[in-house]
Structures are given as C-alpha cells and as structure tokens.
C-alpha cells in the first residue's frame, strides 16, 4: 500500500468536498436562515488543508486497485464526518452521533433519518441534506473520475473499486469520458424532473430538493409526511417514473442516448426487474383494493410504494404497515433485492438474483443429467466461475451481516421486527423499515451505539461489503 499516494488522492477529494460545501453556502446567503460561517468555515478549511496536503504529498506513482479500495472507503468516511459539521454547527441536530447518522444516510442515499420535524429545519440545512444524497447517488468516486484528472490524478482504479454491481461492461474502455457522460445524464434527468415538479405546482425549493433526492434514489424529503404531503396524482406518478429511471442500470440510459433504442428490453436484468415490479404491484393492488374505492388511487399508491422500496428510495405516500402481512413480506423481499446493477439503487441487485436463480436451475438439471454440460448465461454471455464465486460470496456475506447486525440491534433493546428491518433498511440503503422504524416513524429513538452500527451498515452496504471488508486484511497494507 502506497500511503503517500493514498493521502494525496484523499486530499484531492477533500478539496472537491470544500467546493461542494459552497453550494449550500450560497443558499445560506440567499435565505439568510443560518450563519454564513456554518458552510463557509468547513468549505475553506477543506480547500486550504486539502491543497496543502495535496501539494506536499505529490506522487508520480500510479494508483493501483488496493489503493482504490482504501480511497473509496476512507473518502466516504471523511465526507460523512465533514458533512455532519453543518448539521451540528447550526444547532439543527444537537448530537454529533445523530449528525453523523444523518450525513452518512445522505451520502449513501439510504434516507433513514433521526429528524422528527423536518419542516422546522433551516432551508439551507435541508438543501445540504438533499445535496449529499445527490452526490452519493451516482457515487462520489465516479464523479471524481471526471474531476481528478484536472488535478493530475488517474481515477480509473477508483471507478473499478466503487462502481456498483457484479460486472463492468464495454463502457470501461474510456472510463473518464464515460464518467462525464453518466454525470451529464444524471444532471439532465435531475433538471428535467425539477421542471416537471415545478409544472405540477411544487415550490422551486421543494422541486429542487425532491429532484435531487429522487434521481439519487435517496428519499430525503422536505416534508414530514414525505411525498404523502402532496395530494396531486400528477406529482405521485412523475416521481414514481423518475424513481424507476434511477433504479435502472445507467449503462442502458447511456446506450439509449447513443442510439441503441432497444437496449432496455435486450437486457435480461431489466426484463426481470419489470416483471418483479409488475407482480408486486398487481398482487398488492388486488389484496388492498376495496370494493367501490378509486382504482386509480389504489394503483397509484401501490405503484409508488413498490417502486420506492424496490429502487431503495424510501419515499412514502401511504403507511404500508396497514397493508396485509403478505404485502409487507413482498416489500421486505423487494428491500433485499433492490434495483439494477449500475443504478443509484442499493440492495443485492436484480442481476444477482437472475444469476443465482439460473445457477440453481442448472445445478438441479446437472443432478438429473450428470454427464450433460450446461453453461449458465445471462444476456447470452456465459457466467464465469469467477462471477459465480463472487455472487455466492456476496450472498453469504449479505446474509451474515444481516444476521449479526440484527442480533446486535436486538441487543440494544429493539424488538425483533424493528431490529431485523432496520438492518435491511441500512445495508440495502432503503431508509424506512418496519416496526418502530416504519414509514411513519424515524430512527431518533435508536441508541447512539445502534446509530453508529447502522451508519456502518449503510457504508458497507453502499460499497457492497468487500470494498470495506478488504481493508481489515493485513496483507493489503503491505508495501507493493
């Protein structure tokens, strides 16, 4: 491990963080709702300290994968810690543990919150809260792939270490151009959603915040009742559609823009994803629709909640704990699965479900016909032994973290349902769970120790476990 290079790259990211803090600073200038120093002080400190460290640790060494893993994990921790400072300095959140929890929830696009009265918060703090989710949505490190070359740092290895999903497709050929294109798509979709929400009657401030939080599939809202605050069917359907876009592999959006208009339906993961969503929507609608009730309203609320949970956004228009237990279990399944690989969603990812399901079927077929050679394929591409092993290990680690985390949270005094779903909500980066952390509740009542545990679960879940776990192996830290 090249520690000097590691510090050099991290200092470059800290400089970027300093400039990012200037955006909510401009908000505080405009709204005059908090002291200007709350954002300007940490922004200037990040820029100044980051620049000094960057200058004195300059290295000509090339960034390797092992440094990439360390940069990703430590940058998320640094961003979460620094991101907590405005919450704490403003007095909006008195406890620094709560500030760290809220900051980590934002950056990992989890959307879990300790705030009990969101609408009483200063607007500049709410904008920073939303902006952290927007930054985390596509990945702070993917953004840095486009920014770091300006500083003379090669960012390719960071993209490999941070990018979600089990595979990296042909887009890797020109990684910096790809990162810039993905962010342009991300920015354009955010702007389009902002305009649609404005047309639907939302204020400019609320439209901006919800646009930032929807494309990132983060789920923070400026309203205590989340999207349920708005009664407009138009707003509900628009946000549902854009949540779905955020939960789709962005490489498909990339291909579509390049002229491959059939790219979506050629993707087996996309077809499976739509099938899962349709099954969930139709089955829950059938069980929850009451005779004489408005069918459109039923379909709208069910579609919104299904897409919100499956994309791990976590918005709410309805208290799904009032639904039958079958419906709640369907949502719990969606929490584990999550969205598509290469999207802003969390969870296990649909493509892993496809891989696993096909592997099980082929194994059963092998037991029936031992001499028959069967190759498991997805999108007509064979699944290599390396991919199969990686998916199996991911599933095992996912189950292990869920089990240990649930036991730890139960030991803090939470009931079993709350303990288990709080872990699922955090490792899958969803936000709300069931029980006392359900859609109408928050995480304020969880102990400080529990909040730290959940914050770490958000981090390892967002970075898909191995990026973080690999840092605990001593051999990683030996010199190259």
Q: Is the dihedral of CA 392, 470, 170, 277 positive or negative?
A: positive
Six-digit token pair at 72? 């990703």
Rounded Cα gap, residues 194 and 134, in angstroms:
13
Cα separations in angstroms, 223 against 56, 184, 244: 45, 28, 21
State the DSSP H helix or E strand holding residue 208, giving kind and residue range, or none if neither: helix 204-215
Q: What is the dihedral of CA 185, 186, 191, 193, to 10 degrees?
A: 110
Q: Hey, where are the domains in the chain?
A: 3-250
Residue 121 CA to its chain's centroid (Å): 23
How far is it between the farthest Cα atoms of the chain?
A: 74
CA pair distance 309, 390, nearest whole angstrom: 25
Closest CA to 322 of 365, 370, 274, 284: 284
Distance of CA 72 to the CA centre of its chain: 15
Write phi, then psi, for 382 (nearest 5 degrees).
Answer: -65, 145
- Give yes or no for a contact between 118 and 224, defined as CB atoms under 8 angstroms apart: yes
Q: pLDDT tens, position by position, for the chain (480 residues)?
A: 788 888 998 999 999 999 999 999 999 999 999 999 999 999 999 999 999 999 988 877 777 777 888 888 899 999 999 999 999 999 999 999 999 999 999 999 999 999 999 999 999 999 999 999 999 987 765 655 555 554 455 555 565 566 555 545 544 556 667 777 888 889 999 999 999 999 999 999 999 999 999 999 999 999 999 999 999 999 999 999 999 999 998 888 888 888 888 888 889 999 999 999 999 999 999 999 887 778 999 999 999 999 999 999 999 998 899 999 999 999 999 999 999 888 888 888 998 888 888 888 888 888 888 887 777 777 777 877 777 888 888 889 999 999 999 999 999 999 999 999 999 999 999 999 999 999 889 999 999 999 999 999 999 998 888 888 888 888 888 765
Kindly give, in sequence order, each residue whose CB lies less than 8 Å from that of residue 369, ignoring residues fewer than 6 positions away.
none
């Amino acid at each position: 491990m090249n520690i000097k290079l590691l510090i050099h790259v991290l200092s470059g990211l800290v400089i970027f963080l300093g400039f990012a803090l200037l955006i909510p600073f401009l908000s505080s200038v405009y709204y005059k709702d908090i002291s200007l120093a709350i954002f300007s002080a940490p922004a200037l400190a990040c820029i100044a300290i980051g620049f000094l460290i960057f200058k004195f640790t300059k290295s000509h060494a090339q960034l390797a994968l092992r440094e990439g893993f360390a940069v990703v994990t430590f940058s998320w921790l640094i961003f979460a810690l620094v991101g907590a400072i405005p919450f704490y300095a403003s007095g909006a959140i008195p406890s620094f543990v709560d500030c760290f929890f809220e900051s980590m929830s934002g950056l990992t696009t989890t959307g879990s919150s300790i705030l009990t009265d969101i609408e009483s918060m200063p607007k500049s703090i709410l904008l920073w809260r939303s902006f952290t989710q927007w930054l985390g949505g596509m990945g702070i490190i993917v953004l840095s792939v486009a920014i770091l070359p300006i500083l003379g740092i090669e960012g390719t290895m960071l993209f490999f270490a941070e990018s979600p999903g089990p595979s990296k497709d042909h887009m890797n050929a020109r990684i910096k151009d790809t990162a810039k294109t993905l962010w342009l798509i991300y920015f354009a979709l955010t702007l389009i959603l902002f305009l649609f929400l404005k047309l639907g009657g939302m204020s400019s401030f609320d439209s901006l915040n919800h646009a930032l939080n929807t494309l990132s599939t983060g789920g923070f809202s400026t309203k205590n009742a989340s999207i349920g605050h708005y009664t407009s069917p138009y707003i509900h359907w628009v946000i549902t559609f854009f949540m779905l876009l955020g939960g789709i592999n962005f490489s498909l959006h990339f291909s579509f823009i390049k002229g491959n208009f059939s790219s979506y339906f050629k993707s087996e993961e996309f077809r499976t994803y739509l099938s899962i969503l349709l099954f969930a929507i139709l089955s829950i609608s059938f069980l929850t629709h009451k005779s004489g009730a408005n069918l459109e309203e039923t379909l709208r609320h069910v579609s919104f909640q299904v897409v919100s949970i499956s994309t791990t956004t976590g918005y709410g228009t309805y208290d799904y704990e009032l639904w039958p237990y079958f419906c709640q279990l369907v949502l719990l399944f969606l929490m584990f699965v999550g969205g598509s690989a290469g999207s802003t969603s969390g969870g296990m990812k649909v493509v892993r479900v496809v891989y696993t399901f096909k592997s099980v079927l082929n194994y059963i077929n092998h037991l029936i016909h031992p001499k028959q050679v069967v190759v498991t394929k997805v999108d007509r591409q064979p699944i290599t032994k390396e991919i199969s092993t990686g998916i199996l290990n991911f599933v095992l680690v996912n189950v292990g973290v869920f089990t240990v985390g649930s036991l730890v949270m139960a030991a803090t005094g939470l009931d079993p349902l709350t303990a288990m779903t709080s872990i699922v909500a955090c490792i899958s980066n969803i936000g709300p769970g069931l029980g006392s952390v359900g859609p109408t509740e928050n995480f304020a009542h969880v102990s400080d120790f529990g909040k730290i545990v959940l914050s770490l679960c958000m981090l390892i879940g967002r970075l898909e476990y191995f990026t973080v776990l690999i840092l605990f192996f001593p051999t990683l830290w030996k010199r190259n």
